[in-house]
Amino acid sequence: MIISYSILMHGLRVYINTVGTDIENKHGVFYSRRDTGPYYRWHYVEEKSRWCSSRVRLDLVPNSLRMAQKAVPNALRAELLSHYLD
């Protein structure tokens, strides 16, 4: 399955980590990157009832990232679009 066209706009890509504890998270953990910009790690924070992000360095394990094949949750999609506004 391909990620929604709105997520791919302006060179935005969404990834998942195929190894480690990220795959054990109930809501999933996603990574995003626009063009050649920095990577962001997105995780769901139950206490805030929303997706939050932090900028991360992924030069340590770039081979473990794969394009997200599962559906990106609607709430995360909204956060991504808001985060990457021009």
- The strand pairing partners of 50, in sequence order, are 45
Residue 70 falls within a domain, yes or no? yes
In a domain, 61, yes or no: yes
Is 1 a member of any domain?
Answer: no
β-strand partners of 56: 39
Over the stretch 9-27, which tens digit does the pLDDT of each residue have? Answer: 567 888 888 777 666 667 8
Tell me which of 51-60, 63-72, 73-82 is least confident: 63-72
DSSP lists the bridge partners of residue 37 as none
pTM as predicted? 0.77
Instruction: Identify the helix (H) or strand (E) that includes residue 78.
Output: helix 74-83
Number of domains present in the structure of the chain: 1
DSSP per-residue string spanning 5-50: TTTSGGGEEEEEE-SSGGGG-SS-EEEEEETTS-EEEEEEETTTTE
Domain range for 33 is 9-83
